[in-house]
Structures are given as structure tokens and as C-alpha cells.
């Protein structure tokens, strides 16, 4: 059985003509619309409507997406926050350490200046404790006989004279401060060379005793060691006169309150001056 | 000496209170002499030692107590520039006082013990201030200090009681293990 080619029917030819006409008319219409711009307002209105619909539908989705993203961010932020907090704590710790080192550096520089200007060689030590009897102005330092320290050696800190060594073990020493009730230092007023004895008065500071009435002493006068006691070398800064009074009628001497130049309550590092004969040994 | 033997030894000699006393004396000596470096030196300070002596005198026998209190005084002397005998002498005097009160008062309450702490604080300060040549400090500083020592006494008594309880538990545990 042979296959015969399909015959072209008259109906097909009739349908082709309207189709061509439709295409031509549509083409002409499109060209006309694009060229003349007649339909632009309608197109824009349609686009706007579409846009509104799109935004209406998209809005919940976008919010949902935002919530999801925020949640993810929060999770990350929480972790990041913890990491940052840890870093902040570490940095604060480091800053404190550096600040402490800076302050210590300043103090040591001041001590170094004193050390260079002091008449004898010195040993730097740290304050590690105070006396259990709180009315005694005595501190413990972390240097002793093995550092060349012995009893009656002068001790300085930033500002001036701090006191003298009263006990010494191999690695530690006790220092009696200027303000201790039992402390005595031979001193003189720098301006007029008036001599006296510096006595400790506890929390009130010190007083310059045995200066006769009538000797001209003024508030602000500088008091230095006189070297007559054989313990402290001459010329170490003790403090400044903060008050002068006539004392009682029966007193032969003036009352002269002295504020120590050394920061006694804040001393953390001290300089112990080694007596020359000890160095020779 | 293994742990069992230690427990047995402690049980036999009843040294628990003495151990608690001397341990806390040492800790308070270390703390009191170092914290002033940071807090600045002031006459008034928190002193736990009178309360510790009071507590110990209420918890141990006369002979052993005297021995340990002298030991505490010697220990305290190492932290001070005062004359060596002043601390043992003042502490033993305080110990005897509390022991005497304890032996003669029938119902000694905790509040009485705190009052006794203030009283023996004055006693200790009188001996030490007079011995170191500063008796003028007793008024008003010494009396205010005694009041402060009385105020911290409840805390000290609580700490010592807890320590004694814990030590007793440990000792009895070792004893049972043996």
C-alpha cells in the first residue's frame, strides 16, 4: 500500500488570507502605537497597577525574609558579641597593665633621679607590708642584708626622705617612717639654717622640735636633714613647714608643724641608701 | 603519717579548735599587714585577732590554749616592730580573762561573747600601747577600735564555727575510713 501526499485544500487557502491581514493590521497598530505614543498613559496605568500588586504580594515575603535574616544576624551578633566582650576584657586588662607599668615607670624615673643626686649608692625595694600595730608607722620592704641593707640606713622615696631601716633580715627589712611616734631626725631650716629635731606625730605628720622662740620660721620654709645625727647624710629633703605656733607659755621652743615631702601613704617603691663603709666591705 | 593516722591523732588530742585558731590568726596577720599598703595607713582598721582569741578561749582547755595563744603572740611579733614580749603577753592576758569568765558564768550567750571581745580588745590595746610608749592613743582611738572589733566578732565567730565544723567532718571521715 503506497502513501499518497496530502492534497492542498481550498479551505486552507481561505484561512491564510485573514491571518495575513490580522498580522499586518497588528503590526501596523504596534508601529502606530510606539511611534505616536497614544497608548502610553494606559500602559503606565497598567504598569502601576502591576507594581502595586507586586509590592503587595512581595511585602510579606520581604518582611519574612527580613525576620529570617535578622534572626541569622542575631545568632551571629550574639556570638560576635561574646567574642568582642572577651576581647574588650582582655584589652582592658592590657590597658590596666600598661597604665600600671607607665605609672611605675614614672615613679622609678623619679627614684632614679633621687638615686643619681643622692650622696650614697642605693638599692631600690618594694613595699610589701605594714606593721600589725596600726599606730606604728613601720613598713616592710623586700630587700635585706643580702642586698647590702643594714640597720639605720636612710630610706627615700619620690619627694624626699621616708625614714630609716630599723630591722633587717636576709631578704626583708623594716623601715620606720618619719611620721612614727618614735622617729627622730636631725634637721635644719634651709633658709636660715635653724637647727632642730624632726619628730613623728602619727597621722598629723611631723614637727620640728627644739627651735627656740624668736627664731624666724615661716610657713613654706624647706626643711632638710642636717647630718648631725650620724644616720642621715646632710641635705636630704624632709618637708615643708605647714604651721608655726608659739607653743605654751612654759615652752622654751616654738611649735613647728612640718609636712613631709615624701608621699608616705602612697610609697610603693623606695630607695635605701647604702652607707659608704658598707659598700667598702 | 597517712591521712587515717592524722585523723586519729587529731581526734585524740582534740586539736581542731587550736588548728582553726592558729590558721585564722596567720591568715588575718597576713591580710591585715598587706591590705594597708593598698588602702592607706589609718589608725582604725579591721582587726580579727581579739575576736579569734575570744572564740578560742571559749572552745579549748586552759593549758593547751595558753600554749597556742603564746604561739599566736610570737607569730604576731614577727609582723611588728613592737617589743617581742608585748604580743604574747597581751594575748595570753586576754585569753585568761575570757577563760575566767567562761569558767564562772553559767549561761554565756553569743552577745556576751561579743561584748567580751570588745573588753579584751581594750585589754590588749592597753598592754600594747603602754608597752610601746603611746598610752595617749587609748582615748579615743583605742576604745573606737575596740568597738569595731566587737562589730566584726559575729563574722569571726561564724567563720571559726564553720571551719571547726568542716574540720570535724573531715576528721570523722578519716576516722571512719580507718
B80-134 pLDDT, tens per residue? 989 888 999 999 999 999 999 999 887 888 999 999 999 999 999 999 999 999 8
For residue A13, being part of any structural domain is answered with no
Asked if residue A89 and residue A127 are part of one domain, the reply reads: no
Residues A58 and A98 in one domain: yes
Domain termination site, one of A117, A136, A167: A117
pLDDT, mean of residues B56-76:
91
ipTM for this prediction: 0.83
Taking the C-alpha atoms of A238, A241, A243 and A245 in order, what is their torsion angle to the nearest 10 degrees? 90
3-state SS, residue A271: strand
Do both A91 and A51 map to the same domain? yes
- Residues in B closer than 8 angstroms to A264, CB to CB, are 41
Residue A1 belongs to some domain of the structure = no
- What is the number of alpha carbons within 13 Å of residue B45 lying toward its C-beta? 25
Q: Read off the pLDDT of each residue in B47-68 and give the average, rounded to a whole number.
A: 92
pLDDT digits (tens, 9 = 90+) for A80-118: 888 888 888 888 878 877 877 778 777 777 777 777 777
Query: Could you tell me which chain B residue has the CA closest to the CA of A175?
Result: B81
CB-based contact B79 A131, cutoff 8 Å: yes
Let me know if residue A205 belongs to a domain: yes
Whole-angstrom distance, CA of residue B43 vs CA of residue A1: 133
Give the pLDDT score at B64: 87
Q: Do A131 and B37 touch (CB under 8 A)?
A: no
Cell numbers of A154, please?
636612710
User: A264 with A138: CB under 8 angstroms?
Assistant: no
Residue with cell 613595699: A127
Give A142 to chain B, closest Cα distance, Å. Answer: 13
User: Who among A132, A134, A265 is closest to B29 (CB)?
Assistant: A132
d(CA A179, CA A236): 16
Q: Is the pLDDT of residue A231 over 60?
A: yes
Distance set, CA B36 to CA A171, B80, B111 (Å): 21, 14, 30
State the CB neighbour count (10 A cutoff) for residue B43.
13
CB-CB neighbors (< 8 A) of A169 in chain B: none
- Looking at the predicted structure, is the pLDDT value of residue A206 above 60? yes
Nearest-CA distance from A64 to chain B in Å? 58
Q: Which of A62, A91, A117 is the last residue of a domain?
A: A117
Decide which of A52, A83, A117 is a domain's last residue: A117
* CB environment B64-82: b (16+ within 10 A), e (fewer): ebbebbbbbbebbbebbbb
pLDDT at A153: 94
The pLDDT > 70 percentage for chain B reads 88
Query: Cα(B87)–Cα(B70) distance, rounded to whole angstroms?
Result: 8
- Determine the distance in angstroms separating the CA of B85 from the nearest CA of chain A, rounded to an integer: 14
Q: Are residues A50 and A94 in the same domain?
A: yes
Same domain, A260 and A191: yes
Q: B38 pLDDT band (50/70/90 cuts)?
A: low
A277: pLDDT strictly greater than 70:
no
A161, A259: one domain: yes
Q: Are B41 and A130 in contact (CB under 8 A)?
A: yes
Cβ atoms of residues B46 and B148 within 8 Å: yes
Tell me whether residues A268 and B45 touch, CB distance under 8 A: no
What residue of A is the nearest CA neighbor of B73?
Answer: A132
3-state DSSP assignment of residue A138: strand
Shared domain check, A233 and A219: yes
Residues A145 and A266 in one domain: yes
What's the Cα-to-Cα distance from B155 to each of A229, A236, B43, B55, B165, rounded to whole Å? Answer: 48, 47, 21, 11, 15
Q: Which residues of B touch A181 (CB under 8 A)?
A: 133-134
- Cβ B132–A137 below 8 Å, yes or no? no
- Cβ contacts below 8 Å, chain A against chain B, sum to 67
Question: Looking at residue B20, what is its pLDDT?
Answer: 94
- Nearest Cβ partner for A129 among B37, B82, B128: B37
In contact, A163 and A184? CB cutoff 8 Å: no
Q: Does the beta-carbon distance from A128 to B34 stay under 8 Å? A: yes
Candidates A161, A166, A187, A168; CA nearest to A176 is: A166
Residues A139 and A274 in one domain: yes
Q: Are residues A45 and A156 in the same domain?
A: no
Cα–Cα distance for residue pair B3/B57, rounded to 1 Å: 28
Question: Which residues in A have their CB inside 8 Å of a CB on B?
Answer: 127-140, 166-167, 174, 176, 181-182, 202-203, 264-266, 268
- CB contact under 8 Å between B81 and A136, yes or no, is yes
What fold, for B13-35+45-177? Arp2/3 complex 21 kDa subunit ARPC3 (1.10.1760)
Q: Between chains, do B132 and A135 touch, taking CB under 8 Å as contact?
A: yes
CB atoms B76 and A268 under 8 Å: no
Q: How high is the pLDDT of residue B9?
A: 54
Residue appearing with cell numbers 649608692? A121
Q: Do B132 and A203 touch (CB under 8 A)?
A: no
Question: By residue range, what is the domain housing residue A81?
Answer: 39-117
Is A68 in the same domain as A155?
no
The answer on A193 and A132 residing in a single domain is: yes
Q: Which residues in chain A have Cβ-Cβ distances shorter than 8 Å to B47?
A: 134
> Once rounded to an integer, what is the mean pLDDT over residues B138-165?
93
Which CATH number does the domain housing residue A165 bear?
2.40.10.340
Give the residue from A127, A128, A133, A184 with the most B CB atoms within 10 Å of its CB, the best one to mutate. Answer: A133
pLDDT tens digit string along A135-180?
A: 899 999 999 999 999 999 999 988 889 999 999 998 899 999 999 9
Among chain A residues, CA nearest to B34? A129
Question: Total domain count for chain A?
Answer: 2
Please, are residues A221 and A190 in contact by the beta-carbon 8 Å criterion?
yes
Domain ranges of chain B: 13-35+45-177
Q: What angle do CA B135, B136, B137 make, to 5 degrees?
A: 90
Q: Which residue of B has its CA nearest to A174?
A: B81
Q: Name the residue with higher pLDDT: A11 or A245.
A: A245
Quick check: B132 and A176 CB within 8 A?
A: no
Domain membership flag for residue A45: yes
Amino acid at each position: 500500500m503506497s502513501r499518497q501526499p496530502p492534497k492542498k485544500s481550498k479551505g486552507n487557502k481561505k484561512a491564510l488570507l485573514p491571518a495575513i491581514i490580522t498580522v499586518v493590521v497588528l503590526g501596523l497598530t504596534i508601529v502606530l502605537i510606539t511611534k505616536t505614543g497614544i497608548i502610553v498613559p494606559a500602559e503606565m496605568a497598567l504598569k502601576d497597577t502591576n507594581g502595586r500588586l507586586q509590592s503587595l504580594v512581595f511585602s510579606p515575603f520581604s518582611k519574612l525574609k527580613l525576620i529570617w535574616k535578622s534572626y541569622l544576624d542575631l545568632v551571629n551578633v550574639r556570638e560576635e558579641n561574646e567574642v568582642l566582650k572577651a576581647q574588650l576584657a582582655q584589652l582592658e586588662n592590657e590597658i590596666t597593665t600598661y597604665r600600671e607599668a607607665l605609672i611605675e615607670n614614672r615613679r622609678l624615673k623619679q627614684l632614679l633621679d633621687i638615686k643619681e643626686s643622692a650622696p650614697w649608692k642605693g638599692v631600690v625595694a618594694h613595699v610589701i607590708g605594714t606593721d600589725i600595730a596600726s599606730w606604728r608607722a613601720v613598713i616592710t620592704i623586700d630587700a635585706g642584708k643580702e642586698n647590702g641593707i643594714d640597720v639605720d640606713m636612710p630610706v627615700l622615696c619620690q619627694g624626699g626622705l621616708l625614714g630609716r631601716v630599723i630591722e633587717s633580715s636576709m631578704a626583708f627589712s623594716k623601715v620606720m617612717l618619719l611620721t612614727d611616734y618614735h622617729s627622730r631626725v636631725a634637721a635644719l631650716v634651709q633658709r636660715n639654717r635653724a637647727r632642730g629635731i624632726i619628730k613623728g606625730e602619727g597621722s598629723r605628720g611631723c614637727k620640728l622640735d627644739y627651735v627656740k622662740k624668736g627664731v624666724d620660721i615661716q610657713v613654706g620654709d624647706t626643711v632638710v636633714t642636717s647630718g648631725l645625727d650620724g644616720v642621715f647624710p646632710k641635705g636630704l629633703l624632709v618637708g615643708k613647714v605647714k604651721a608655726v605656733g608659739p607653743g605654751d607659755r612654759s615652752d622654751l621652743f616654738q611649735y613647728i608643724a612640718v609636712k613631709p615631702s615624701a608621699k608616705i601613704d602612697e610609697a610603693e617603691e623606695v630607695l635605701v641608701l647604702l652607707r659608704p663603709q658598707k659598700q667598702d666591705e | 603519717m597517712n591521712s587515717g593516722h592524722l585523723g586519729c591523732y587529731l581526734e585524740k588530742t582534740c586539736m581542731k579548735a587550736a588548728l582553726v585558731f592558729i590558721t585564722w590568726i596567720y591568715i588575718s596577720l597576713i591580710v591585715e599587714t598587706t591590705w594597708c599598703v593598698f588602702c592607706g595607713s589609718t589608725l582604725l582598721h579591721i582587726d580579727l585577732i581579739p575576736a579569734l582569741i575570744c572564740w578560742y578561749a571559749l572552745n579549748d582547755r586552759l593549758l593547751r590554749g595558753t600554749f597556742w595563744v603564746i604561739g599566736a603572740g610570737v607569730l604576731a611579733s614577727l609582723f611588728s616592730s613592737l617589743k617581742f614580749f608585748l604580743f604574747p603577753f597581751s594575748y595570753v592576758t586576754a585569753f585568761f580573762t575570757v577563760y575566767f569568765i567562761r569558767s564562772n558564768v553559767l549561761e554565756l550567750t553569743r552577745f556576751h561573747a561579743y561584748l567580751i571581745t570588745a573588753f579584751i580588745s581594750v585589754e590588749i590595746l592597753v598592754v600594747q600601747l603602754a608597752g610601746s610608749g603611746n598610752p595617749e592613743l587609748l582615748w579615743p582611738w583605742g576604745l573606737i577600735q575596740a568597738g569595731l572589733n566587737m562589730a566584726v566578732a559575729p563574722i569571726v565567730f561564724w567563720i571559726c564555727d564553720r571551719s571547726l565544723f568542716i574540720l570535724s567532718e573531715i576528721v570523722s571521715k578519716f576516722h571512719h575510713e580507718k
